[in-house]
């Protein structure tokens, strides 16, 4: 019998594997006020993006000292923040691995944060490839990160399934030519449903059969 074809699965980190977005919201909204951005709900404007992008888009007119302070404070925050898993996420990734599916992590987070998260969550050796902010020159919504992940595993973008929560991430996966499953951990189901193939609240009741259908 011919083996059933299995797509490669790529996972974003924040808001997909770990439910850190509410924690980030509090931090960045306060930081936005502290840094005098004048932008209400500052966190919503930077979801899914990298720190260099934030500095370039919102603080390009500030001094180097100021940018260094923003970077330092952000890194200090990430060195002590918790990483509560999205319900069912770890189990689902392990399920895919047990069935022979290749899985990759594609995130706007940097290696320092990931090293701590991997240690706390015991993620070492779980992913077949990892694309972090340190490996790319253009962050989400640019498709560079997802195309690099597909290249790493020598698979066609059309044969990849992406799990994302932010609009920037959804756009990156879509622009890469991949099918995107949206998690409504960060944005509402209503706001995501016309941008993705399917919306799920988390991974709690997702079966392998469903994955194969996607």
Catalytic sites, residue numbers: 12
How far apart are the C-alpha atoms of 81 and 27, rounded to whole Å? 10
Question: Which of 31, 58, 33, 28 has the alpha carbon at shortest distance from 43?
Answer: 28
Measured in Å, how far apart are the chain's first and last C-alpha atoms? 21
How far apart are the C-alpha atoms of 211 and 214, rounded to whole Å? 5
Contact 53, 109 (CB under 8 A): no
Give, to the nearest 10 degrees, the angle between helix 64-78 and helix 51-58: 150
Token couple for 72: 């330092």
């Amino acid at each position: 019998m011919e083996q059933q074809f299995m797509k490669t699965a790529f996972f974003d980190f924040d808001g997909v594997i770990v439910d850190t977005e509410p924690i980030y919201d509090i931090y960045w909204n306060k930081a936005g006020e502290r840094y005098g951005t004048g932008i209400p709900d500052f966190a919503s404007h930077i979801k899914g993006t990298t720190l260099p992008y934030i500095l370039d888009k919102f603080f390009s007119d500030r001094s180097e000292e100021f940018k260094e302070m923003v970077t330092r404070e952000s890194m200090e925050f990430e060195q002590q923040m918790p990483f509560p898993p999205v319900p069912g996420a770890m189990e689902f990734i392990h399920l895919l691995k047990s069935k022979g599916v290749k899985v990759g992590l594609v995130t706007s987070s940097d290696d320092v944060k990931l090293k701590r998260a991997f240690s706390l969550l015991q993620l070492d050796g779980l992913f077949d490839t990892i694309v972090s902010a340190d490996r790319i020159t253009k962050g989400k919504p640019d498709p560079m990160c997802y195309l690099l992940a597909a290249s790493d595993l020598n698979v066609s973008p059309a044969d990849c399934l992406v799990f994302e929560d932010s609009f920037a991430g959804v756009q990156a996966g879509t622009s890469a030519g991949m099918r995107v499953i949206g998690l409504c951990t960060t944005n509402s189901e209503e706001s995501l449903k016309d941008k993705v193939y399917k919306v799920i609240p988390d991974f709690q009741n997702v079966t392998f059969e469903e994955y194969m259908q996607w």
